Copies of this chain bind each other. A is one copy, B any other.
Amino acid sequence: MTTWWDVRDANRPLAFTSNPLARPVTEAHDEAWVRAQLEAPGARFLPLRRLEALVAGEDPVLAWQDGSALRGMAEGAFPVFLGTLEGVPHFAVAVNDLETGEASRFVDARTLAAQLPATEVGILGQARALVDWHARHQFCAQCGAPTEHIEGGARRRCTRCDARHYPRVDPSVIMLVEHEGRLLLARRATAPGNRRSCLAGFLEPGESIEEAVAREVFEEAGVVVRDVRYVTSQPWPFPSQLMIGCRATAVTDAVTVDGIEIASAEWFDRAEVRAAVEGRSAVLDIPGSIAIAYHLIRGWAYETP
């Protein structure tokens, strides 16, 4: 059997993976070391304005700046240490505004994910998730006092009760559900036109990945599944999901949707799904290639059972 992995589009790695930066483990927890990196020759800073990243060029690349980027730093912001590449430290910094060259501009991460080189998309995902987390975690959930960033932004510490807070990553399951050669795709109530995708949802406390898949499919489509199998995963920085891609076999094909969150869920055969992947379907429009859903659906469309 040809599997998902054999037919993946190797020229399009999952967006937001492929981050080449390394964090020196011991050093990254050392405040003095991280501070010294700010002054290191060649240190690079990626400005984000309202979570949009600065890019330059017609085929855009991240517009890394030198320390002068810190002059535009937003109130309460600080340079978040991302890691090093060949010894060169890289930081992300939230800015209010910045004098930039003519050719540079701020662009949102979804748009950039389809345009930047894969390694830069990886860095961008990490930068966006961390900068956003700091902005939304200025206070201690335990006691309400202000928190401060420590260790270059790897965590925060409460200034009153000393509790440590770690960046949040929210695991979510997203799944191919198949039944006798057909694939279940759902239309969210808020989705445009013929856009349909895999069922998906957040994993809840107290459940395994396999249990979360079964629960979500039953909740959203009324379908009972067996044989849940993991396929692949993707970080998704909107704001901080870990997308866990799975597949499962439906026991029956009767579908019941709530009509509120999910407007409809229907079964599509391989010919219909291939037409959608190839952009020649009049009835089915699937997510773009930055989403894990695209890769799951595309893999299913071309695999040979």
Contact = CB atoms under 8 A, between A and B. Distances in A.
Interface in A183-226: 202-211, 219
Nearest to A220: B25
A234 interface: yes
A112 interface: no
Given A25-B219, A208-B232, A139 B143 contact: yes
Given A141-B139, A142-B137, A144-B146, A19 B207 contact: yes
A220 B129 CA distance: 24
A19 B206 contact: yes
A141 B17 CA distance: 28
Interface string A30-57: 0000000000000000000000000000
Given A17-B211, A219-B25, A205 B139 contact: no
A205 B138 contact: no
Nearest to A239: B205
A107 interface: no
Given A170-B169, A219-B25, A240 B141 contact: no
A10 to B, nearest CB: 15
3 A-B pairs closest in CB distance? A126-B206, A139-B144, A129-B205
13 contacts: A17-B208, A127-B206, A129-B205, A130-B206, A133-B205, A136-B142, A138-B144, A139-B140, A167-B204, A168-B168, A205-B237, A205-B240, A209-B233
